[in-house]
Amino acid sequence: MKLGVLCSGGKDSWFACHLAMQKEVVACLISVRSRNEESYMFHTPNTHLVPLQAEAAGLPLITVETEGIEEAELGDLSRAITLAVKQYGIEGVVTGALLSVYQATRVQRICRDLDLWCFNPLWYTDPEIYMKELITSGFRAVITGVFAAPFSADWLGREIDREALSSLQQYVQSHRITLTGEGGEYETLVLDAPVFTKRIVIQESEKEHANFRGFLRVRRAVLEEK
């Protein structure tokens, strides 16, 4: 079955893509770039790097832009998926949804309206097992947005490795964050993955951080041989 993967550039969509490629044919990535950093549906910090990730993975990419206005942005997502059907003949969509009923429900409805399959291979997965598997299977994801206490500016640009995971596990206990960031506590950018033939190197970036909220804005990044 030919599938399109909804890709924000973060760890969940790339891990979902990794799982989908083991079972079916991933024909393209689908990315929605939101101008609204408060978007309910779409991860925003560094979606401009999805084309570089797509190149690293050797996958075609369909990108649409949205103003990110609640519910209206769903029309833009539907438009992107429709383009993927026309250009790549996809029969289904894959998402990296973990716990968000809001997001999952809306993607499911769009897929029903377009008569497409919808797959959420990380749905209600065990967060501990998932995060460990992410690290051991060769993903390099860095934190590019933090939106909750106790995340300091030091977290921006930090790779999710065993040490970072240990700190996140402590924050689950001390600050009741979700381990995966599904509660919106942090956002990630994937720099390397098993499916990538090249890795992404960040050459220039800026941090903005105040009151436990901040972004790592990547200004320049390139692909490098692995």
Partner 1 sequence: MILLVDLSWKPGSLSRDEFVGPVARIVSGAGQEWCEAHFSGISGVDLRDANGIILCGTALKDNHFAEKVQAFSWLCDIHVPVLGICAGMQALCLVHGGTLRPACEIGMTTVRVTHPDPLLPDQPAFEAYELHAFACDPPPGWKVTAVSDRCVQAVRHPDRPFYGVMFHPEVRNDIVVEQFCALCRE
Residues, the chain: 226
Q: Does 24 bind partner 1 (CB under 8 A)?
A: yes
Local structure of residue 72 (DSSP, 8 states): H
User: Could you give the C-alpha distances from 134 to 110, 138, 142, 216, in angstroms and in order?
Assistant: 29, 7, 12, 21
Closest approach, Cβ 164 to partner 1, in A, equals 24
Q: Name the segment binding partner 1 (CB under 8 A); options: 47-55, 107-115, 183-191, 203-211.
A: 107-115
Between CA 57 and CA 164 the distance in angstroms is 26
- 117-119 and 92-94 as β-strands: parallel, antiparallel, unpaired? parallel
| From 65, 86, 87, 112, residue interacting with partner 1 (rule: CB under 8 A) | 112
Closest approach, Cβ 15 to partner 1, in A, equals 11
One symbol per residue from 124 to 163: x for binding partner 1 (CB under 8 A), - otherwise; what is it? xxx-------------------------------------
Q: Longest C-alpha distance within the chain, in Å?
A: 48
Q: Does 123 bind partner 1 (CB under 8 A)?
A: yes
Q: Does 23 bind partner 1 (CB under 8 A)?
A: yes
Q: Does 119 bind partner 1 (CB under 8 A)?
A: yes
Q: Position 178: which residue type? A: T
Site for partner 1 in 67-106 (CB under 8 A): 92, 94, 101, 105
Q: Does 17 bind partner 1 (CB under 8 A)?
A: no
Closest approach, Cβ 210 to partner 1, in A, equals 34
Q: Are 163 and 133 in contact (CB under 8 A)?
A: no
Q: Are 62 and 30 in contact (CB under 8 A)?
A: yes
Q: Does 19 bind partner 1 (CB under 8 A)?
A: yes
| From 116, 131, 134, 200, residue interacting with partner 1 (rule: CB under 8 A) | 116
Alpha helices (H) along the chain: 11-23, 50-57, 72-88, 101-113, 127-136, 162-175
- Which residues contact partner 1 by CB under 8 A? 19-20, 23-24, 92, 94, 101, 105, 108-109, 111-112, 115-126
